Structure 1
């Protein structure tokens, strides 16, 4: 006769699996708003760390980076240096992507970025969940309608980065670009040379670099308005 075993109720356990089950039940019963910041981070860490108590790590990350938002915004290298594996880092990128898409939902019907006010409104929404230190590009058509908003390719040399940007611009049939640095922690003038090289690389393709911006650290700064481009 086959042995039968009672079903184990993990929500009553004392180990990591029991704790995780209780957390999940709490979200289903009371909603995610009932979670403290470290608890929300703890649940996200479940996705990349399947069999370990993640509460100490969640609290440590918030203490190290300063807040839950700054954990989400932290560059990949900083998260790796804090001991996170790539699966966990990918899990921590999900809230930012979801928040950005919610914030920019009204812009997803190819918004027109034809003037300063329209550009600032878009950048304000796009900054939700943006990663610190990232350089992003807005690819535009000949009516300044947004074709794509993407992170610049990460290459070791500026010429290689510009080549990849050019390939992407051609694939999208873009006629103009706007670049923006997300909370880079550096003065605008330090990006002048790279911006000029990008501008020069786009000219043979008849792709106009409208501007390169610094955003997220006080009022947005335009390299073109500052005569740095």
Structure 2
């Protein structure tokens, strides 16, 4: 049986001193100067006020591989992570802790999405690349999204049209075009991720894209691009002339 979670116990002087020193360093040098595990540790202070949380911060980074991957992990996966503190007592990611981390990710996603709402998507290509990378680069399952644009190429909606497995997300041309008509969209940008990390287009990706392009032609709904997102970067199928 694992040791009980004694999170209500008061901090020992050395742990309290460590928290104060870390906070002072963040205030003095700025949070950007902190390594990932200390940034995560500082955030966990608020969720676990009475414990040494460094082991849990490091366990999260070990489990998911990076800070962005931690924050974008599914809630149920976060809750499988646990660690022992320096006293041998159990630390675990609770529902509240996982939700706090997901809220940080959602805030980040909205910050990078904000520039897309103020100008045309076509004219904000670098902002679009940043947005799709933050949103999908560390998603553990394939996710198919569609950006619906109006006649001025401004964003109407960004919607998830399909979830899949680690290597396939279904996309249905009729459903995409039906939704485009409902939103009065004149064009779309398709986006999906490759959890493997490699954004190269597969034969299936190419065939699927061409089916969606064909479905839009009689409706005069243009498919501007299909972006494939991986940890190694973003591939534009239009730029690669694969559409």
What TM-score does the superposition give when structure 1 sets the normalisation length? 0.64
CA–CA distance in 1 between the matches of 2:23 and 2:231? 39
Superposed, 1:97-116 pairs within 5 Å as 97-113=106-122
Superposed, 1:162-177 pairs within 5 Å as 163=175, 165-166=176-177, 168-177=179-188
1:188 maps to what in 2? 201
What TM-score does the superposition give when structure 2 sets the normalisation length? 0.61
Distance 1:90 1:207, change over 3 A: farther
Distance 1:58 1:166, change over 3 A: farther
Secondary structure, counterpart of 1:191 in structure 2: helix
Are the aligned partners of 2:23 and 2:42 in contact in 1 as well (CA < 8 Å)? no
Are the aligned partners of 1:138 and 1:146 in contact in 2 as well (CA < 8 Å)? yes
Shift of the alpha carbon at 1:61?
1.4
Comparing 216-225 with 136-145, greater Cα deviation is found at: 216-225
Structure with bigger helix share is 1
CA–CA distance in 1 between the matches of 2:213 and 2:95? 34
Shift of the alpha carbon at 1:121?
1.6
Secondary structure, counterpart of 2:60 in structure 1: helix
Shift of the alpha carbon at 1:220?
3.9
CA offsets, 1:157-177, max 9 Å, x none?
7366962x4454334321111
CA RMSD between the two structures? 4.3
Structure with bigger strand share is 2
CA–CA distance in 2 between the matches of 1:195 and 1:81? 37
Shift of the alpha carbon at 1:104?
4.6
CA–CA distance in 2 between the matches of 1:49 and 1:171? 46
1:6 maps to what in 2? none
Are the aligned partners of 2:75 and 2:102 in contact in 1 as well (CA < 8 Å)? no
Pairing 1:91–2:100 present = yes
Shift of the alpha carbon at 1:142?
1.8
Shift of the alpha carbon at 1:198?
3.4
Distance 1:67 1:88, change over 3 A: same
One of 116, 135, 138 as aligned partner of 2:144? 135
Shift of the alpha carbon at 1:140?
0.8
2:68 maps to what in 1? 69
CA offsets, 1:22-62, max 9 Å, x none?
69976996664575522432454567778876432221111
Pairing 1:212–2:217 present = no
2:3 maps to what in 1? none
Distance 1:82 1:21, change over 3 A: closer
Secondary structure, counterpart of 1:179 in structure 2: strand
